[in-house]
Structure 1
Amino acid sequence: MSEYYHGYTSICSYIRNRNETCSFHEFIDLYQEMIIHSPPNTDDWSGLETAWEMRFLRSVKDIIP
């Protein structure tokens, strides 16, 4: 499977490993370096957080129905 965006496989792997105990904040802590160096490249931290939060929530919805 190709990545839809940089970090997609990391999100999916994290969710599958943690299952229903997954946490967005834990994901951020574990993958902070990857997130900082991934699009969207912005100085707006709230925009960056929102983008990754939406990606995370969308992936949770797809993986844990």
Structure 2
Amino acid sequence: MLSSTRWLGILILPFLVAASVLLYGFPFSTDRLFAWTIKPPLTAMLLGSAYVGGIWFFGRVVAERR
């Protein structure tokens, strides 16, 4: 049985993946694709890279077998 922490990690991961793809992959289109417009585009890429760090963190949480 999975712990509640792992379930929460599984629940959070898709949102992190979606946000990182939108912000890092399409920084010039945040007015259409994201919740609000982020200018300059480099700021969107910076936020996207932070979400990638979240993917790594929660991926490790889900993968932990302890």
Q: When you count helix as a share of all residues, which structure comes out higher?
A: 2
- TM-score when normalising by structure 1: 0.42
- TM-score when normalising by structure 2: 0.42
